[in-house]
Amino acid sequence: MQDKPDLRNLVEPFDFVHTEEIKPEGSFIETAACFADIPGTVVLASGGNLDCARYHILAACPWLTFKAWPGSAIIEAGGSRINYQGNTLDALGLVINRYCTRDPDLPEPVAAGLFGYLAYDLKDEIEKLPRTAVDDTRLPVVCMYAPMIVMVCDILENRTMLCIPVWKATGEEGLERQRRWFFETVAGKGGSGRDFAGGAGGFYSPFTSKTYMEAVERIRQYIAAGHIYQVNLSQRFETGFSGSPYAMFAELFSRAPASFYSYVNAGDHWIVSTSPERFLMRRGDFVETRPIKGTRPRGYDPETDRATAEELKNSPKDDAELSMIVDLMRNDLGRVCAGGSVEVFEHRRLEAYQNVFHLVSVVRGRLAPQNDSVDLIRAAFPGGSITGCPRIRAMEIIDEIEPCRRHVYTGSIGYISFHDTMDFSIAIRTALIFNNRMLFSVGGGVVFDSDPKAEYEETLHKGRSVMSVFEGRKGAPAKQSRIWMNGMLVPESEASLPVSCTGFQYGYGFFETIRVERGNPHLLNEHLGRFTGSWRELFDLPAPDLSWDEIIRQVVGANDLEKQVCAVKLLAAAGDTRNHGTGPHIVVTAAPYVHRLEQAGKPALDLAVYPHPRHTPLASHKSLNYLYYYLAGRQAKEKGADEAVILNPDRTVSETNTANLLLVSGNIVIQPKSRHVLAGVMQAAVLKRLEEKGYETKRISVPLESFFEVDTVIVTNSLMGPVGARSVDGREIACDTEWIAGLRSEVLS
């Protein structure tokens, strides 16, 4: 593990920051839309009339990218890349120090720096915590960009500044190139689309009202036992997503503007945040945090509105929650601020937003001379208002109760400048969009006096701030795949195996894959013969008496696949050996099939030898214990090949990771000999057809070198039929693709 990354190979520090006042024609949201589809673009927008809603900021065209996962970081700039193993915040501090500038005339609040997010899970590099929640996104815990373009709109003074870093090496020419790109991009009025939609099925949460209330009760028990005073518990909602993430951002901003709207285009994922809460702000040595605790929905008429506001202001529970968090944040700032400088500037301020009231406190201090922005983050991250008190035990309980890691939710979004300024929001009311999904979480502080039902209902109300934007915008209904399981057609999402069954724990089971074309299973009897043989041998039970053709017809029809080629799988998994009478589980699935040659976009396949020979009696069956073959196929793809050649212990050839092999030399067809190998249904059909054509078949040991001595090599399985192989480990082999295509047409007809 290295002590610190060597940044000398990255681009040199810039010489100065060019600044000029500009007059954009459109609104800030419209101007930012021109850049929204460019990876690395960050938009920070301020809405409403509160005193911290002063600046709109656009950051675009990154010249440096900083992405980190726990314990490692990737820093890219100037065509160079550094892979760093170590503490993320240490690396972040080194980047900021390398590019710091002391120009006193730079416009406020930021002219150059890093823009992006710090995920909540960065906590694990600040504190030593058990990790018991699942990381189901595997996205960076830090994602920040240093932009070539920073546009700052001062709402108060109605003034817009354009800021561009300038290097000695490129000088005025480089500056003019960036200016021209900026103005041409704005003039082009291109950018993000206007449409977006959620999944047709609406929003899903792993919590039900019952399980969420049970979680609140568990926290109350922890409080009663003296573990904790307060925990911020959340639930995550998920839906499908299509269209433009920026369009969603713009729509939310138009509906209910708040002080800390954020949009981050991270290339393979997007962040849309509508937060009202400031986490940390720095201007020189001046620092500020504004924790929020206490929320009430706005009333539908002035009288109800006033009553709701008074009820929140006079709530003992909300007062206690906010006071606890204020004390926590005072202590956090006190760790890095000058002695005696930290003060509560304002306590329990009532702030009114479009849909809710909040109680807010303002805590300020003076940063000690020896500390910087990264020290401030390390002292206070993640914000106390969204963890609990004491913070470390609260975070442990959050990971224990919430099933998935939070990622950006309750982390922070904003910027760290290269000139001693910083502003981050708390990432609440924040959506993560990736893989055609949208995730967002909502929560609230749980104390001993909390009512579990009220806590659950509060999450639903807070969730409306994001959910409401999808009303009338649902996408086309997604077809739910259906499977046949243990005698019933059910949605795939509802099918499950008990974790105690040996089919799950040990891969104790087997499967068959059948090509079905326009509803007709190909070589069905041959597949069923192999399936029932494995059933009797592996389970030592009579094979099930089922009308497999009818079951296949039902599954194909349920998935609307009657008019195309599809892959049908028959799976059998052993039951729970501890519970006698729990027999094997049977599953039948169907999915569209695209031919391998069409997928690969080539006339024949490329092979790569898997270096680990195989010797197991399970190779005689299509065992669910398939990891060996999966890893072999993955390594082949890493080498640029399509299939992996599997070797016997004596290093002769056996098969590939998904198919059988045949070698043709003159009028002789060679079937590689293995002590344990799955007898292929399609392989048998191809051999039969070739024998009918007058070919002689032999089953002999085949050394790898034979691939380069025969007339052609055939790779065959039941889905793709016979196809040719044209190389092994990059070495070309003979391949008569036209002859094999004719053979394929014959055996698949």
Question: Which sequence positions are flagged as catalytic?
Answer: 277, 293
At 743 the three-state DSSP class reads helix
Distances from the Cα of 255 to the Cαs of 191, 207, 208, 468, 472, in angstroms? Answer: 21, 28, 29, 10, 15
What are residue 585's DSSP bridge partners?
573
Q: Which two tokens stand for residue 329?
A: 């944040």
Contact 136, 405 (CB under 8 A): yes
Rounded to the nearest 5 degrees, what angle is found at the Cα of 89, between the Cα atoms of 85 and 90?
65
Q: How many CA atoms lie within 13 A of 450 on its CB side?
A: 33
Return the structure tokens found at 453: 């039902």
Question: Residue 360 class from Cβ within 10 Å (0-12 exposed, 13-18 middle, 19+ buried)?
Answer: buried
Residue recorded with tokens 């967002």: 440
Tell me how long the chain is. Answer: 749
Give the phi and the psi of residue 29 in degrees, each rounded to 5: -60, -40
Place of tokens 């005339």: 105
Cα–Cα dist 718/625, whole Å: 20
- 3-class secondary structure, 449: coil
Residue type, 270: W
Neighbours of 181 (CB within 10 A): 15
Asked, as a colleague might, if the bond just before 109 is cis with ω within 30 of 0, I would say: yes
To 5 degrees, how large is the angle CA 557–CA 563–CA 568? 55
Kind and range of the H or E run holding 94? helix 88-98
DSSP H or E segment with residue 85: strand 80-85
**CA nearest neighbour of 338 among 373, 374, 371:** 371
CA separation, residue 394 to residues 224, 401, 431 (Å): 14, 11, 23
Query: Helix (H) and strand (E) counts for the chain?
Result: 17, 37
Contacts of 303 (CB under 8 A, 6+ apart): none
Token pair in block for residue 290: 């504004």
The rounded distance, in Å, linking the Cα atoms of 583 and 541 is 10
**Residue 60 burial (CB < 10 Å; 0-12/13-18/19+)?**
buried
What residues contact 749, with CB distance under 8 A and at least 6 apart?
Answer: none
Residues 622/625/629/634 CA torsion (nearest 10 deg): 130
Dihedral angle computed from the Cα positions of residues 75, 78, 79 and 83, in that order, rounded to the nearest 10 degrees: -20
3-state class (DSSP) for residue 313: helix
Per-residue three-class SS string for 557-614: HHCCCCCCEEEEEEEEECCCCCCCCCCCEEEEEEEECCCHHHHHCCCCEEEEECCCCC
| Rounded Cα gap, residues 19 and 480, in angstroms | 54
Name the DSSP class of 15: S
User: Among candidates 87, 79, 89, which has minimal Cα distance to 144?
Assistant: 89
Helix then strand then coil, in percent of the chain rounded to 5, is 30, 35, 35
Instruction: Provide the token pair at 413.
Output: 């979004």
Kind and range of the H or E run holding 317? helix 316-334
Give backbone dihedrals phi and psi of 604, rounded to 5 degrees, phi first.
-150, 165
Question: Helices marked H in 389-476 — which ranges?
Answer: 391-401, 452-467
Look up tokens 């008190």; give the residue: 389
